[in-house]
Structure 1
């Protein structure tokens, strides 16, 4: 796996909080130092895998002598009972790394799995599923990686790589001329950076489609009719993103309105970890 300082820090924090200063006192006391085992991490339910490479790094960080064979890579479909990783090595070392590795693997696979359900729900349309910045603090890079494992797309990584004018940014400035001047100034300083603006009403959409320099209009909490009407106002290469309260029951209908993107915060803030387990044998 490529070097990633953020991931390295997360792994070190996870190891430190689990092993503390004394290490795995249960394994150290009750398992012979020279005991070796083989192990398999298996899926207990159908899911999309994400993060086995991270799990491998965890095992190797605990004990470089552990042999790790990743059978299913990120983005793979696992059915119930499928082997994701085969392990062999010192028994105590494997057990010391078990929960840390599974925490990463279960959480990220949960995100990939729910993302894939949304992606499948909009098949046949032009809409792409996007994540948001509603991520676990410190985990954003790997949670967005998990979204991609599930077939989704990443929205902006942070506040630094895309300008997004939301209602709170416009609280003190509703003048279209003033907003247009600021957009021109922004594009002059950051010519390759995209600008997205939030619209809560059709009146705002009408206003924004006439402006220069806007790349995407975020249609926030609009009805299906409002989404369709907004898309009909498209000018040039401007794109539309639907957001707000969209779930698996509604996402297909939203996609059929013609929007280009559908952002879903629950991909990361409400994903349920999938059921995986590590089974050991002598």
Structure 2
């Protein structure tokens, strides 16, 4: 709404008096302040990411370093970048049975271009399919907060797990796997965290928390409920100081590579309107048996 003669609010929500129109300089200043960012500075012939000229970054800084720079504001150490890269590599793909991958492939057979296929897949990386790593980070950070209050590790975990039970939460994200008895990615990633902790690149605090949570939820069970890729990448992202939101974000970045690869492969293979299962297999129908539509209107109403 523009300024009016009766002193209404203008488009900026500022009370205006008759004749109180902003100057050209004020409008230009408002436009400049509309979006504010510490991330990038672009001027004619110049591009800088977090203050670093793009021409200096190109050829000197890797893609993983650039992810860190964009998200955290500074370039990582070599050890930080290596640990982040290991987590990204581990999360790239988990086969066409993963919903996000399957959706990307199905979308291409429906005629979606690569951006549509990738967007469709990424949109299902929500709380259940894409969120356990973020949720596990929240669990670890909750335990860490209890440690900061002076609790011992076992007591801190007991408090946090009981708090979740009291809230009706029975699922512990980051542990157990419906496909792998032992997730093959976990031991390798934990060994890299241990090596980084030994070198002083990270504290090792969250690796200790993760292992202790695994022990706590496995106590009294016939078999260990092992840490899975979400649990161990949560360890890494917490060790590196990422927020849970960024933890989910970088997982999506990693899985996008697998999504792109599968969408591209399916485009080469071709196929039209491929659903989640072959047409010959079909599905299980659980509704009413075949029946005739009642002819009499009263009978139809009586059965509704």
Please say which structure displays the higher CA radius of gyration: 2
More helix by share: 2
TM-score clears 0.5: no
More strand by share: 1
Calculate the TM-score normalised by the size of structure 1.
0.26
